[in-house]
Structure 1
Amino acid sequence: MNTRSPWTVVICAAAVVTLAMGVRQSFGLFLPQMGPALDIGRSDFGLALAIQNLMLGLAQPFVGAIADKHGAGRVTLAGALLYVAGLVGAAYATDAMGIHLTLGFMVGLAMTGVTFTVMLGAVGRVVPPERRTMAFGIVTAGGSVGQFLVVPGAQLLLGQLGYHMAFIALAGLIGLAAVLAIGVAGKPRALDADGPAQSVGEALREASGVRSFWLLNAGFFVCGFHIAFIATHFPAYLADKQIPPAIGATALALVGLFNIFGSYAFGLSGDRYPKHYLLAGLYAARGLVFVLFLALPLTNVTALAFAAAMGFLWLGTVPLTNGLVSQIFGVRHLSMLGGIVFLSHQVGSFFGAWAAGYMFDLMGSYDAAWIASIALAAMAALVHLPIRDAPLVRRPLAA
């Protein structure tokens, strides 16, 4: 039974996400070293991160259901240990297949236990509904704190020690998440799960019949595409344009810094204004940022300004989307239902990481990926407008 204070759960969940996402967002920095060392192309490296994203999505609903039933502590511990093993394995991989297995499959599966879906499920059960989206924003901002702090450190490790030892050092950092699992441990209480005592199957059938649930899935697909494309390929894109590597690392750090403010701001706004309208505006703003970035001459300044703007819009989708899931369906099966929506996000991430690299290898530029990003932003803005955010009215269970 979870008897910890809500703030203990929120802080520990945010710290776990800080470590897990901070390390994950540094992977794009490894491409320039690992490509020549292992004789692999950008599509091979992109495929490893695409497999990681896809595994994170495919396994997340099942891992979320386990956390809903048994609590987040054991799931977080298992995820952290597997994450460590995947990073150590990546350090000693000798070819593309090894990278696909370790950095792709193992790390992707590991992250199901240490990232947003399980952490937000734990937080959602201990925070009252009127403060829930703000709490989600705080946990989401943790991922950006990690990106701001870990990415520059990873760049330093790469420069001083090479990618082998950089992976080992990051594995040690992830080991701290195993300790923090104590803070989110505890089996969910009956009071933590509002709504009727639905089975997993009943919750799935209910959600599948709600159009707004599928619209959320469509929008989160776009979010995944955008984030994976930028995180995986933006440093390489800048390097192709003769922008110094330090700017690429600084850009990813700025994304993390500004998303701290963005995640908190959108989380706070989600408790005050309709979340689906905020999401529509967020995606429209992303599309505008893409257009302006491509229209202006590329310099160190415009690259960093783009990173700051995207950072503010980076993961503000997470507290709003999960807030809508909890608002419509309640929190009893939040990790599982949020995991299904997150699966859509990760399918988008698969294409953002792999397809962008494939198109580059095919055409020699990222132009097609940028155009796709703009078109998808417009689509996502539109699909959120008709979402109904009212809680479902359920018939009382028979005595």
Structure 2
Amino acid sequence: MKAATCRIIIKTLVGFSALLLAASSTEADARPQAPPAPARVTVQSSPQSGLVTELEIQSPDVIKGLDQAKKEPDPAKPLTDTYITWRDGGTERRLAMDDNGGWYEEAAGVRWEFPAQVRAKLEGYVKAARRAHYGRLLPWEEAKKTVTMKSVCTVTDLETGLSFKAQRRAGSSHADMQPVTKADTKIMKEIYGGSWSWRRRAVLVSRDGGPAIAASMHGMPHGGDGIPGNGFSGHFCIHFLGSSTHKSKNVDPDHQWMVYKAAGRLDEALRKAGPYGVAQGFLVALNQHEAGLLQHLFSDPKHPQLQYFQTAMKEIQGIRAKEPKELPEPPGEDALTAEIQMDATVYREGHKPEHQIFHFRMNRRDKDAPWQIADLSITA
């Protein structure tokens, strides 16, 4: 489901001394627009995301430096959310940035090497754009100082770009929230494609125009304590970094991966996860239909199993993983391969629940690199 694109436009004059932040819907704002900037950094969590942040670059030094790049053939297509675009004569250039700050023109199969000074300035622009686009990664104990009891917050869905108001009504281990009005309920339901769902979604939570906090919500009304007249029977839950469920007091891994997505730090979550965490992330990706997360977990972006599961997960209604009595022994510090097994029940539309055992073979480039899936098999 895709809503009208919402753009956060950051304009800079030469440097970062003056930032003008303006959020507007491309369909709703019919005012005359300023001429396009010579270059811009764009952040978008996925190619389908309706929330886009653009930082305009008007620094003559940077613009001039773009023309001084060395170019080398390289067919790499980095998994990224960050781009730079500008008009080079009559040609529109679009470069994707990889995890190490390298720039690739995918359409031409070329890697661009900018002068060190230009590259450093570009990194500054990228950091500014990402700060505006994503939420802060705050532990629940800190987040609840902003999302206080009875406070009204703005909740923005990272993928659709849609926003609504919600009030924290209860909850000690996470925030129990309710849409404030019928209009807010309608927007929240639109985010979920018109049907209430337990699926987790990466969201940004802000209060009184302050900086956003990375969070995760589900979209299923439950429990009591309704706001009269808001058309929402019960409450829904918003989780933050390290928050837990109220009954079991367990940290929900599905919510936690979405929190990292809302912070734009999936790579960091992957680096922190051991082989078991990566396997758990795989089941979360299937359960939440998160194609982007699934891509991060495979070592080969063209792996046939990655392509298979990107299609197969659309039929999955849910996955319930069986918690092991004991977590598997972590591999040695210098280990570069590992094997993990996870039991789960898979629910598909029109099928009986299926018990499946997922056998993962993991690897990493070196002891400081993240673990990723090299291969997997499934048995009944």
Q: Would the TM-score normalized by the shorter structure come out above 0.5? A: no
Q: Please state which structure has a larger fraction of its residues in helix.
A: 1
- TM category (shorter chain) comes to under 0.3
TM-score, reference length from structure 2: 0.25
TM-score, reference length from structure 1: 0.24
